Amino acid sequence: MGKKIGFPTCNIDIENYIISKPGVYAVKVHLQNSRKTLKGIANLGYRPTFNQKKILLEVNIFNFNRNLYNKKLSVEFIKFIRGERKFKGIRELKRQIRSDIKIAKRY
């Protein structure tokens, strides 16, 4: 779905973690065995637009197209951008995400 809506994300299982307030954040991502810090945007939430129930951390890393399946990464929360919302459809959600990314890139 993430690839279909045009914003591929690493979906991170956060069961048994203490979590921050759900919503959209500007983040920095640290990959295991790499010194580099990558910038991105994350949604910590339930994806109400798609009627999902389980909380998930989804991270989209800017200008990055490597596959990170089964990789360990840590996500540093830099700035809360907005709370999660239920959108009427994918078009509305995509438009909102484009604007979130503009904000997140400033951090």
Ligand X SMILES: Cc1cc2nc3c(=O)[nH]c(=O)nc-3n(C[C@H](O)[C@H](O)[C@H](O)COP(=O)(O)O)c2cc1C
Q: Does residue 100 interact with ligand X by CB under 6 A?
A: yes
Nearer to ligand X, 19 or 48 (CB): 48
What are the φ/ψ torsions at residue 102 (nearest 5 degrees)? -60, -40
Nearer to ligand X, 31 or 84 (CB): 84
The answer to whether 22 and 14 have CB atoms below 8 angstroms apart is: no
For ligand X, the closer of residues 5 and 14 by Cβ is 5
Contacts with ligand X in 20-59 (CB under 6 A)? Answer: 24, 41, 43, 47-50, 58
Element (H, E) at 64: none
Told to check if 10 binds ligand X by CB under 6 A, we report: no
Alpha-carbon distance of 60 to 64, in angstroms, equals 9
58 contact partners, CB below 8 Å, separation of at least 6: 2, 9, 10, 11, 12, 42, 43, 44
Q: Which positions lie near ligand X, rule CB under 6 A?
A: 1-2, 5, 7, 9, 11, 24, 41, 43, 47-50, 58, 60, 84-87, 93, 97, 100
